[in-house]
A = this chain, B = another copy of it.
Amino acid sequence: MTGRVGIGLDIGGTKVLGAVVDDAGAVVDEHRVPSPTGEWRGSGSSQGLFDAIVATVTELRARQPEVTTVGIGAAGMVDLDGAIHYAPNVPAFRSTPVRADVEAAIGLPTVVDNDANVAAYAEARFGAARDMSDAMVITLGTGIGGGVVIGGKVLRGAHGFAAEVGHFQIDPHGPMCACGERGHWEAMASGTALGVMARAAAHRGELATVVTAVGGDPDAVHGPDISTAGRAGDAEALAVIDAYAVNVAIGLVGLANIFDPGVIAIAGGLVNDGELFLGPIRKHFIGHIEGATYRPVPEIVPATLGERAGVIGAAILAMDQHPVA
């Protein structure tokens, strides 16, 4: 590393996390504010969020004046110039030129990209996909976020909207996706989907131990309850985990057939359970990938950078796109 530092921001539904990151990927300072509520949520104005972004950058810059760039990762559809065309948590964003507006307000070169893209970039530079020219990073959370690195660069597509990997159909009769389409991978393999599958099993009379543990109401069963029971060896919980792992694997297989990545890094809370989920996911993945006997099968590994992957990737992306003279 050269000692260079830059600011990275991760804009989520509940918080704006800002960090100063050095060019070796280490977080050297951090500032966190709750995402503004009220005036910008669905009101047609994004002023509150914009103000929070500028205030976070200003605070970090005051503490670390040597920063030269700002990188922002945001959920939603971000175009190649950093305008946000659609954000699930910020309905007011409609082709909003966030990059240009922040750059004008702050006076530092600014980059804006999708949150899953910058997290993937961080994992490819410093985390689970380090030293891999081609990699996929898949976050199984409320939805499914995906970032794809090809030849060391994040896949953006013709307009910036690539890597919406949760939104391909894997079952025409599957549950409705948040996006309004039926049977998308996200609707069947996100962290949210695990809870849906568990409650369905509970309503079928399965998961007796788990239902008792949550007080007897099948609708009170959530993903973490399945993890807890699975860790304790509960056979019915393990069956739900296995069925969920099939759904995860089917999507990963399709993506691996499409991208032939050197590695697949999985992020999200379930990674904390180690092999409880990753073991069955790997088993079903290997059982279905194309030509498993003729090719190197991509390894499935846990992502390593955790919740700071976003700020690290955003900061590094901005530094890489704006090298110092």
Contacts and interface: CB of A to CB of B under 8 A. Distances in A.
Contact of A257 (B148, B159, B168): B168
Nearest to A80: B260
Copies per complex of this chain: 2
A172 interface: yes
B155 A259 contact: yes
Interface stretch (A2-10, A120-128, A292-300): A292-300
Interface string A58-70: 0000000000000
A156 B250 contact: no
A290 B177 CA distance: 11
Given A77-B294, A86-B291, A164-B290, A156 B260 contact: yes
Contact of A258 (B132, B160, B164): B164
Contacts of A133: 158
Interface residues of A, number: 51
A159 B258 contact: no
A52 interface: no
A203 B164 CA distance: 39
A261 interface: yes
